[in-house]
Each structure stands twice: as structure tokens, then as C-alpha cells.
Amino acid sequence: MSVKISPSLLSADFINLESELRKLEENKTDMLHFDIMDGVFVPNISFANPILKQVKANTDIPLDVHLMIDRPHRYIKEFAKSADFLGFHFEAGSPVAGTLKEIRECGCKSCLTIKPKTKAEEIFEFLPLCDMVLVMSVEPGFGGQAFMPESLEKVKALRAEIDKNGYNTIIEIDGGINSETAPLAVEAGVDVIVAGSFLFGDKMAERMNFIRSL
């Protein structure tokens, strides 16, 4: 399977968001990554559901919604109305198995996310309930951070566990992705690359083609 691309909307030009969506469509992006932050679980605040709904209504790009919020099980039904992939943090205080099941029951693909200090082995038991796992290669909450190389070992551990058991679970990575780190992530076993500032701008087509070539 060729690597998929999930550009992070945080890096888009919000004054010209419709134009950005058309550009992403022209470049046949696989999905669009939405970081939902509440200022509690992470020290920043980003999009609310009304923006997500408007984007959903104006593009056919699948939406990859990453909930960086406290006790996300409280909001699954609401966000599931717009998401295609819906993910939350292992560390966020929700019942993990129950929340993953609810996401699937709502018709979305389920994703479980881990922060840099969480070991891959801590989520092995939940892999059968995950359509995707997201490995954070920076501390969640802010863009522009440097890639943490130790995240690659977690990707390798997850890849080995998924392949050994034949799970239909793909691996996504988010944080500090550029022309140097993207090849390392793919080599480690990543299926989906989230990238923000690296992709948005004049070189979007060129850089998407670079990632797809890996």
C-alpha cells in the first residue's frame, strides 16, 4: 500500500479556506487532518464543530478528526456526524475500549492516539478495535515542533504487533514531518503521514508527490 497523506488544516490559509480545499482536491489528498483542541487536555484552543461541519459540507475529502480534548467520550456522537476517521487520546480520561466501539457504532473509522511519553505496548490490547493508530512525534498542542526520533521505535513496535496478529489497523504519524523525517517514518512502517507547514504553500503538489514516492 502506498503511503497516504493527511494535510493538517492548522497550517491552511483561513482567509482563503475554500481555495485551500480546492487545491487539496486538485492534488488528490487522501484525507484532511483536523486538530480539535480544548485548552484543557492540551494548552491551546483550535477549531470547534461548526468549522468542521462547514468543511464537511464543502468537500468530498475524507476528514481525519483528531480530538485533543479532555474526556472525549462526551462528544463522540457530535463529532461523528462530520468525521470519517475519528480519533482520541489514550491519555485523555475516556474508557478506551468503550469509546473505540462507540466511534465504530456511529459509522466512523476508529483511531487511538498516543503522546510521546506513552509506550506502544500500552495500547496493544486495543488494536483489534482500532482502524488506525496515531503516533504523535511531537507533544500535542502546538505546530512547528521538532520531530522526536524516538517515535519511530513506537511505530516499529506497533507495525510488528499489527502484522503478527493480522490486524486491519493502519499507522499514522503526526508532528515535525518534512523531507528528512517523512522517509524515516515510512521506513519504520507508517501508512499515513500528517503534515502541516511542509505541505501548505507554493510547493504543495511537489511535496505531496515526494511523500507519495516514498
Over residues 98-143, the pLDDT tens digits come to 999 999 999 999 999 999 999 999 999 999 999 999 999 999 876 6
Q: What per-residue string of b and e applies to 85-107 under the rule 16 or more CB within 10 Å gives b? A: bbbbbbebebebeebbebbeebe
Confidence (pLDDT) at 46: 83
175-200: average pLDDT: 96
Task: Give the percent of the chain with pLDDT over 90.
Answer: 88
Contacts 24+ apart (CB under 8 A), 201-208: 204/23, 204/24, 204/27, 205/26, 205/27, 207/179, 208/5, 208/27, 208/29
Average pLDDT along the chain:
94
Say yes or no to pLDDT of 7 above 80.
Answer: yes
Query: Does the annotation mark 174 as catalytic?
Result: yes
Q: What per-residue string of b and e applies to 13-34 under the rule 16 or more CB within 10 Å gives b? A: eeeeeeebbebbeebebbbbbb
Q: What is the pTM of this model?
A: 0.95
Helix axes 204-212, 17-26, angle to 10 degrees: 40
108 close to 86: Cβ distance less than 8 angstroms: yes
Q: At 75, list the grid cell.
A: 462528544
**Which helix (H) or strand (E) is 87 found in, with range?**
strand 85-89
**Which residues make beta-bridge pairs with 173?**
135, 193
**Active-site annotation holder among 30, 38, 64, 174:** 174
Helix axes 151-165, 181-188, angle to 10 degrees: 30
With cut-offs at 50, 70 and 90, classify the pLDDT of residue 49: confident
**Active-site annotation holder among 35, 38, 131, 191:** 35
Q: How far is CA 195 from the centre of its chain?
A: 9
CATH class belonging to 4-212: alpha beta
Confidence (pLDDT) at 142: 67
29 close to 12: Cβ distance less than 8 angstroms: no
Query: Does the annotation mark 202 as catalytic?
Result: no
Confidence (pLDDT) at 2: 85
